[in-house]
Amino acid sequence: MQFTKLFILTFFVVFTAKPLLAHQSECQEQLNSNFNRPCLERLIPRSLDPLNRNMMQPSVVKVSNQYSVSGSLTEDNQPLIVVIGASGRTGRFVLESLAKRDLRIRALSRNIAKASADIGGNYEWVYADVTQPETLVMALQDSDIIISTIGAKPGKGPDGPESVVYKGVINLVDEAKRAGTRHIIYMSSIGAGGAENFSTVFLNLFMNKTLKWKSLGEEYIRNSGIDFTIVRPGGLYGDPGTQGIKFDQGDKIIGSIPRGDVASVLVESVYNPDAINKTFEVINDESLPVDAWKDEFKNLKTGEYGKIQSGRLPFSYWGSMLILVLLIVLLIRRRRRRKRAA
């Protein structure tokens, strides 16, 4: 019986201690000396303090529907759209959709031979790796708009979420500033706005805090001074999109959406001035008319993004586990007392 109790206690301590203490160790790893700031905030680079928000004043030049419809853009003033993550499962839908609109497109990949062979088409492929900032100089040169559909692999190391969607996004934004990029359209994920649903908690606990790093990457984009649109899709599946799409803010919904539909929202954000400086979630909703979402951008609020995802095991989870363990221990003790009495 002693062994059962010991086992339950050990399980509980091991399961909860790592996620609860995780930030502290990450902060120590960062060797950041601003110890008067809470640990999670210290992971947001110093330059992102609210006081420094306007480090850059972008000249707001949008691609408007008028231009594309009237065809009045010349080769010289046609904006250059750079797609990073272009070889990915969403990125290729983005390329396809942009190609129909006759824009200047540059597609980025870490393996341009494979990407261009896989995807075909007549795209300008340029090497870029967000974990190696020097590769972004050429890749982002003259870019007007960046659409990012990059994604990390689970695990630590150069392909992991911390390297790709946190430090990599910081590199991307810093180089975009140098290049004079006017608008970053970034594919993130539901759960990056502080949601505590099961899949978010699972991804944070067992996939190296994927959503925490995404959340911090998003925050860097929001505070960059460059116009941004952050699109957070629910669970992705492969089909081209043809469905109604629901928009929401504050990371309160869960659901799924075809990658093709996410690509449509990303590309529409190039043209729709109401997409500027918005962070929002997108899921499929079959009850909605197919194209109704295009009018939803204007109903989105700026400054509404939920909260920074901490990556810790939420109180509601470890609190209920604690109660469960206490109940089990109480039950065991009651049974023992009854046995002794009998």
Binding residues (CB under 6 A) for ligand NAP: these are 84-85, 87-91, 109-111, 115, 128-131, 149-151, 164, 168, 187, 189, 233, 235-236, 259
- Distance in angstroms (rounded) separating the CA atoms of residues 282 and 266: 11
Report in angstroms how near the CB of residue 185 gets to ligand NAP at its nearest.
13
The residue (of 145 and 282) whose beta carbon lies closer to ligand NAP is 282
Report in angstroms how near the CB of residue 135 gets to ligand NAP at its nearest.
8
Report in angstroms how near the CB of residue 10 gets to ligand NAP at its nearest.
33
Say if residue 166 is exposed, middle or buried (CB neighbours under 10 Å; 0-12, 13-18, 19+): buried
- Distance in angstroms (rounded) separating the CA atoms of residues 194 and 211: 9
The residue (of 200 and 224) whose beta carbon lies closer to ligand NAP is 200
Tokens representing 35? Answer: 């110890």
The residue (of 48 and 86) whose beta carbon lies closer to ligand NAP is 86
The residue (of 27 and 82) whose beta carbon lies closer to ligand NAP is 82
The residue (of 78 and 131) whose beta carbon lies closer to ligand NAP is 131
Dihedral sign for Cα 111, 112, 117, 119, please.
positive
Tokens representing 184? Answer: 């970053």
- Distance in angstroms (rounded) separating the CA atoms of residues 209 and 134: 27
Residue 302 DSSP symbol: B
- Residue 148 has phi, psi (to 5 degrees) of -110, 125
- Distance in angstroms (rounded) separating the CA atoms of residues 306 and 194: 6
Closest-approach residue to ligand NAP (CB)? 88
Report in angstroms how near the CB of residue 214 gets to ligand NAP at its nearest.
7
Report in angstroms how near the CB of residue 257 gets to ligand NAP at its nearest.
8
Pairing of β 145-148 and β 124-127: unpaired
Which amino acid appears at position 11 of this protein?
Answer: F
The residue (of 163 and 224) whose beta carbon lies closer to ligand NAP is 163
